Structure 1
């Protein structure tokens, strides 16, 4: 492994020398923005040429991929050439995920707490990072977690961990919950926790636009294309544990196809895989999951979909201080801006097919009963599906994957963070940039989130969900 790393560092140095038509206002607004996005950034124009070499190639130009580009250019400026390959520069898929802009500190893993703390600082000071014209509309608000008898002890443990990291929150008895939020039924509640700092909502679309624009301004090249494969180079002098001597192959080129059906290749020193739920399929192109030895283990990332619902004319029932609330059932509730409706949904802990429920059954058997149980005033409320969101999840332990692959040590993975990928993007980007430029984590050690945990069967469980 050490020899492989030295070879990578040496080669890296050498390279441096070389509209939705829905009536729903959320869908309509995001659809318009998605269409205008490439025009505003000048991304709708075909590049005059496609680069043949780059120090770093990033596969995926979403929140995480663009954050990686931003931090690489921030740390190295013009000393590093960065290319982002994104299959859809209209970001049509992003516009469907209307609930991404939430910031919370309710985590049990130190890694997630560190990432959320960094996110809070980044969002509060976004104009300093991304420019004076970027307005993320960050709005502080509380986040209320409810626990039944079964999960009360775990909630207390989580709060203890959070306080060790300086997070301000308060444990609430059922009586105290009822006093603060009279509309909540607390009969089956054992304990609650509400946060007071670094929690709230922000404009996720403005964040993505700001990251992309700033990255481009600093010299990042964005290319709209589909990745079709990798080229591997035999390196007989590399010795690695678990790899037959003389058989090691390093990926050194990524192949891609543009919308015009033109095929190109770009040679790189380092590659970042941040392709969301498609990361597993892209990884297979580098023999991850279909190779031998260390390559037999696939990248355990899958697509999970969940619906977002609007509870019509319900905001008056809960009032202006309505927090982002996570119920014991896994159903969440939040304000839908300044309108009269509230938004709700459920944690996508399983793929839709695994539940065996149709969309209608999911509403009638999970969403509505949970809402009515927690907020009896919603007995006659109309619950309408307004969006279907898609996210990437690590089905091994539901924690994100961050760091170099165990075999391809010049391939860095930044995926599988689910809905938290938007919130955590700035910290993830900084961490990858440190690995590339400094050769190690500098700010925070995220080693436990690496691919090696699959080899050693060491799941990393986040206990902030039920």
Structure 2
């Protein structure tokens, strides 16, 4: 048996420390506590030695992959998830992840967002009847200056091809709808009319973990420290010396008790967020020759979330998530009935590093006060620091088998979209394993191969 009791204890203890969403006497809490108490039986943990599929990372994407594999294959497939922090401390802090939007230029992102809307709409059927992700259908508003107006129009045209319902707004329209927004340097706006809003990312993840425990997914509280590679003399691969191919077949992990174990697998899913690039090095990705020469360009990225405090400022329930062309975003703080804001992570950290001490003063504050003059008299404080995984190559997630390690499936680098897109990403990976191809949404372009041929896949949005 696996250590699911650790999952329950850690999340039960930590998730409800968050100020962003808190609900007392929720039936879902009772279910969670009951499951936790049932699993608190004093017995020595038994660590599995074999699994059909091992998933490195038990966050949104990793847990979604486990959910879909067991939903599709049931007891016919054994699935183990290795997660180094079952307290999910970083997930508690990432309140801005809980946004649902279809404002994209890449068809894949639009389709993934549309499926997420469907999945969340039926969340109680998909996960648990008591799962409550606090969905608020308040939509998203995108603002574009004259420089980006044409790009916004192009994006809206693409979105309409996929049935997205949104509306282009003139600066006057924006001012009429939201008189507290400065529109003097705004050319166009676009507001969605359905299938967009905000939700509680912690409740979503917790629902996935609970459902996975029912389905038989095993969570292990441990950190991956390496792979075991077996030489395959009968395998011929272009660019690899005959007889020199080495297949990954085992993963070594270290528990919280500092004990090391191995687990043999048929397929491994790398969904370790910002740690994925470092984990990949254990499989010689980025440190080898030929197909192993190119690294997995996934890194951690962090930035601050700010709370705009004003007791007299009441937020309308219909106020959308607002994205400014400067990269500034603004959304409701559901608990305190005010606003949260932050800055879209920069393509590189160079600017932020140069302005480390003055980032708020020189980047965020000018954009915030220009767009929302009424906030100049408000108290603005850092609420918390968020963490995301970033694909430094082209800012788009990497999904699919590695060209050398074909039994290693990568699912990382999606950044803020990892939470929103998790249902569709997990389903896609399950399809690729069970069906042998993507049967719902074709995500082939997200593959690692684009790094080999140097063809970036860029999400061209207005910010």
TM-score (norm 2): 0.91
Question: How many angstroms does 1:172 deviate by?
Answer: 0.5
Match of 1:80 among 77, 80, 91: 77
SS at match of 2:97: coil
- Comparing 329-338 with 411-420, greater Cα deviation is found at 329-338
The whole-number CA distance in structure 2 between the counterparts of 1:286 and 1:342 is 44
Q: Residue in 1 aligned with 2:138? A: 141
Asked if the contact 2:355/2:362 (under 8 Å) is kept, the reply is: no
What residue in structure 1 maps to residue 235 of structure 2? 238
Deviations, residues 263-304 of structure 1 (Å, cap 9, x unaligned) = 110100000000000000000000000011000000011111
Cα separation, 1, equivalents of 2:260 and 2:397: 31
Is 1:25 equivalent to 2:22 in the alignment? no
Q: Verify: 1:207 aligned to 2:190, yes or no.
A: no
Q: TM-score, normalised by structure 1?
A: 0.90
Q: How does 1:144-159 map to 2 (within 5 A)?
A: 144-159=141-156
1:6-405 maps to which residues of 2 (within 5 A)? 25-26=19-20, 39=36, 42=39, 48-313=45-310, 316=313, 319-350=316-347, 352=349, 354-358=351-355, 360-405=357-402
Pairing 1:439–2:436 present = yes
Q: 1:394 to 1:437 in 2, by over 3 A?
A: same
What CA distance in whole angstroms lies between the structure 2 residues aligned with 1:117 and 1:22?
A: 29
Structure 1: state its 5+ residue gaps.
1-18
Would you say the 8 A contact 1:315–1:342 is kept in 2? no
What residue is the counterpart of 1:414 in the other structure?
411
Give secondary structure in 2 for the equivalent of 1:193: strand
Partner of 1:56: helix, strand, or coil? strand
- Aligned-partner Cα distance in 2 for 1:206–1:133: 10
Do 1:306 and 1:348's aligned partners in 2 also have CA atoms closer than 8 Å?
A: yes
Please tell me whether the aligned partners of residues 20 and 27 of structure 1 are also in contact (alpha carbons under 8 angstroms).
Answer: no
Cα distance in 1 for residues equivalent to 2:14 and 2:441: 40
Secondary structure of the structure 2 residue equivalent to 1:55: strand
Judge conservation of contact 1:63–1:422 (CA < 8 Å) in 2: yes
Q: Can you list the C-alpha shifts for 1:31-58, whole angstroms capped at 9, x where unaligned?
A: xx9x989946948977631111110000
Matched-pair contact (CA < 8 Å) for 2:270–2:276: yes
Match of 1:14 in 2: none
Aligned residues of 2:64 and 2:422 also touching (Cα < 8 A): yes
Over residues 124-163 of structure 1, what are the superposed CA-to-partner deviations in whole Å (9 max), with x where a residue is unaligned?
A: 0001110212111212112000001111101100000000
Q: Out of 241-250 and 353-362, give the one that drifted further.
A: 353-362
226 and 338 in structure 1: CA distance in 2 versus 1, 3 angstrom threshold = closer
How many residues in Structure 1 have an aligned counterpart in Structure 2?
445
Against the structure 1 CA distance between its residues 243 and 119, is the aligned structure 2 distance closer, same or farther, given a 3 Å change threshold?
same
d(CA) in 2 for partners of 1:386, 1:44: 38
> Could you say what the CA RMSD is over the residues aligned between the two structures, in angstroms?
2.5
CA distance in 1, matches of 2:15, 2:127: 31
Give CA-to-partner distance per residue, 1:300-323, whole Å, 9 cap, x none. Answer: 111110100011117837644311
Write the deviation string for residues 4-32 of structure 1: whole angstroms up to 9, x where unpaired.
Answer: xxxxxxxxxxxxxxx78999834999xxx
Say which SS state the counterpart of residue 394 (structure 2) adopts.
coil
The 3 A distance-change label for structure 1 pair 232 and 310 is same
Q: Residues 57 and 271 of structure 1 are in contact (CA less than 8 Å); yes or no, is this contact kept in structure 2? A: yes
User: C-alpha displacement at 1:359, in angstroms?
Assistant: 5.2
